[in-house]
Amino acid sequence: MAVYDIALRRRFRRIDRRSGVLIRGEAGWGEISPFWDYGPAESARWFAAGLEAATVPFPPVARDRVPVNATVPVCDPAAAVGIVAAHPGVRAVKVKVADPGVELREDCARVAAVAEALAAGGGGVVRVDANGAWEVDEAARAIRELDAAAGGLEYVEQPCAEVEEMARVRRAVNVAVAADESVRRAGDPLAVVRAGACDLIVTKVQPLGGVRAALAVAEEAGVPVVVSSAVDSSVGLAMGAHLAAVLPELPHPCGLGTLSLLTGDVSSTPLTVREGAIDVRRVAPDVADAAPVTPELVSRWLRRLDEVAAWMESAR
């Protein structure tokens, strides 16, 4: 087992650092990295995913590379253009919007800059992610303005927090709606599909309990799937890449090009984006060369794993 702790280049999802546990088993390495605000019940799925990756071979794959999008956090338009330029070959960019304290006009300026940079580089699509921050009327207005700024959005991800709100927004706009939190943080990950609240779903291996569990959700959903990461290290990204590689169809680039959000990685052979895609392969961390972590952080993770294990035992 190894613990990692890596700073983000820019604040993302309201965090400045990414930390997790890497475990090695007979099948290879797995990652367990639930965010710190997740309790034992939700973190248990992340534990199961890492354990599966370390102990069970991945299913046979249909492809050896997976197309990905670039991800633009909340930043000024010039920085957003720089991120697009740093990802040659990428034909989709996800832009984070609706952060607290950030005005819609700022989000629109960032989206417009990304769309212009993509057009100048040969074309591509823009998708936005609100992480459930909007109310229904606010979402409808924001989506229309962002759609105009982009010259047409590919889709908007998780505009509202609740499934019923998502359904109302979907009926009110002419932009496709993707469900993320309503899938990965739900007791029933397909309730959002049955409610007619989305056009596609975002699946993430760790939050759904492993490659096989996420694959089952994707197969049952009956709508297009975008495989994404939870800002993982390359070990976690390899888990997501294998899920994407198993799917028979990938109609949209995946959200697995997130390593560029981190200032480092756990491996000297990271899963970086090349020509708009990442490789499908196992990744082993160079534990001896990993960035040092404090004994306090290691102890914190050990206590957390104990809490998750205790919850799993009590839930049997």
Per-residue pLDDT at 291 exceeds 80: no
* pLDDT of 292: 80
Q: Are 44 and 96 part of one and the same domain?
A: no
Distance set, CA 158 to CA 129, 183, 185 (Å): 6, 10, 12
The two most distant CA atoms of the chain are separated, in Å, by 56
The reply to whether 289 sits in an annotated binding site is: no
Same domain, 198 and 92: yes
Q: Is 180 annotated as a binding residue?
A: yes
Q: Examine the domain organization and report whether 154 and 236 are in the same domain.
A: yes
Residue 273 has pLDDT above 80, yes or no: yes
Q: What's the pLDDT band for 226 if we cut at 50, 70, 90?
A: very high
Residues 34 and 79 in one domain: no
More confident residue, 187 or 50: 50
Q: Is 204 in the same domain as 178?
A: yes
Is residue 88 located within the same domain as residue 227? yes
**53 and 31 Cβ atoms separated by less than 8 Å:** yes
In this structure, are 84 and 199 located in the same domain?
Answer: yes
pTM (2 d.p.): 0.94
Judge if 311 and 281 occupy the same domain.
Answer: no
Q: Tell me, what's the pLDDT at 287?
A: 63
What CATH number is given to the structural domain containing 263?
3.20.20.120
- Per-residue pLDDT tens over the stretch 94-153: 999 999 999 999 999 999 999 999 999 999 999 999 999 999 999 999 999 999 999 999
According to the model, what pLDDT value does residue 137 have?
98
- Domain around 29: 2-58+291-315
Helix (DSSP H) and strand (DSSP E) numbers for the chain? 11, 12
The answer, yes or no, to whether residue 13 has pLDDT greater than 70, is: no
45-59, 108-122, 280-294: which has the minimum mean pLDDT? Answer: 280-294
**Span of 63-77, 100-114, 215-229, 280-294 with lowest mean pLDDT:** 280-294
Residues 94, 222 within the same domain? yes
The verdict on whether residue 129 carries a ligand-binding annotation is yes
Judge if 305 and 162 occupy the same domain.
no
Reported as type and span, the H/E element at residue 106 is helix 104-120
Q: What CATH number is attached to the domain comprising 28?
A: 3.30.390.10
Mean pLDDT, rounded, for 140-168: 98
Same domain as 132, residue 222? yes
CA separation for the pair 135, 309 (Å, rounded): 37
Interstrand relation of 65-67 and 277-279 (parallel, antiparallel or unpaired): antiparallel
Q: Which of 184, 204, 252, 304 is catalytic?
A: 204
Counting the structural domains of the chain, the total is 2
**109 plus 204 within the same structural domain:** yes
Using H for helix, E for strand and C for coil, what is the string for 264-288?
CCCCCCCCCCECCEEECCCCCCCHH
> Torsions phi, psi of 201, nearest 5?
-125, 150
248: pLDDT confidence band, cut at 50, 70 and 90? very high
Structure tokens at 115: 């769309």
> Is residue 94 flagged as an active site residue?
no
pLDDT bracket for residue 200 (50, 70, 90): very high
Active site residue: 45, 94, 96, 242, which one?
Answer: 96
